[in-house]
Amino acid sequence: MTQAPLTSEQVEVFARCMAVGGIAVFPSDTVYGLGCDPSQREAVTRLYALKRRPLEAPSAVMFFSLSLALEALPELGERTRAALGRLLPGPLTLLLENPSGRFPLACGSEPATLGLRVPALSKPLAALAELKWPILQSSANKAGEAAPTSIQQLDPTIGSEVDLVLDGGALGELSSSVLDLREYELNGRWELLREGPLGHHQIDALLSEKS
């Protein structure tokens, strides 16, 4: 049975949930995530408690549009911005220098580093692009357990304690690749810290593309 696409009405409910300090389970281009407003400490604390994850551990901030992400991070250098243009949207978590200390609740004990996600939305998930605000996101599983790729795989205790569950159907099998770009602006160096949907050769090809 084919999953119906997400609707604008569902995304509006998602946006309202974030605005009032709620926590949602939502689909992405990789696995299901837990999301909340990255500026609301109570919501972030609650999300971490659901995952049994220490607050010192970093999470990523997800934008549903690359242009919105670049607008929110004006201090990024030209070289890094060009790299983001080649890599995103995509199934990547990028580690970026964070000299302005943006989104401190998502950075945990590493305020100088920001994790950034901009998912490549499939047609069934395209309505998520209507969400104009960033969310703090982490995979929708308890620490040390497998990330769910369908709502049926969601831990029942997480499903019962969040404020909203968006069902986007079956997703991919892998969490995002994690790519460290913190030295990229200075010397073009990058490091793949976790291989997911994109591997070293694919990333190298994307970064080598001519504008």
E strands along 103-207, which residues?
113-117, 135-139, 164-165, 177-180, 191-194
Query: Residue 21 and residue 40: Cα distance in Å, rounded?
Result: 6
Instruction: Please answer whether residues 98 and 104 qualify as being in contact, where contact means their C-beta atoms are separated by less than 8 angstroms.
Output: no
Give the tens place of pLDDT for each residue, 124-168: 999 999 999 999 999 999 999 999 999 999 999 999 999 999 999
> In terms of Cα–Cα distance, which of 131, 153, 128, 150 is closest to 142?
153
Instruction: Please answer whether residues 162 and 50 qualify as being in contact, where contact means their C-beta atoms are separated by less than 8 angstroms.
Output: yes
Give the tens place of pLDDT for each residue, 161-176: 999 999 999 998 899 9
What's the pLDDT at 211?
Answer: 55
User: According to DSSP H, which parts of the chain are helical?
Assistant: 8-19, 41-51, 66-72, 78-87, 104-107, 156-161, 184-187, 200-207
CA–centroid distance for 107 within its chain: 13
Tokens of 84: 């983001």
What's the pLDDT at 173?
Answer: 85
Query: Residue 32 and residue 27: Cα distance in Å, rounded?
Result: 5
CB environment 61-70: b (16+ within 10 A), e (fewer): bbbbbbebbb
Query: Residue 66 and residue 117: Cα distance in Å, rounded?
Result: 9
User: For the whole model, what pTM was predicted?
Assistant: 0.95
What's the pLDDT at 209?
Answer: 80
* Rounded average pLDDT over 19-44: 98
Domains in the chain, start-ordered, CATH in brackets? 8-207 (3.90.870.10)
Query: Residue 26 and residue 47: Cα distance in Å, rounded?
Result: 13
Proportion of the chain above pLDDT 90, given as a percent: 95
What's the pLDDT at 1?
Answer: 46
Average pLDDT, the chain: 96
Cis-peptide, bond into residue 91, ω within 30° of zero: no
Tell whether the torsion through CA atoms of 61, 98, 145 and 170 is positive or negative: positive
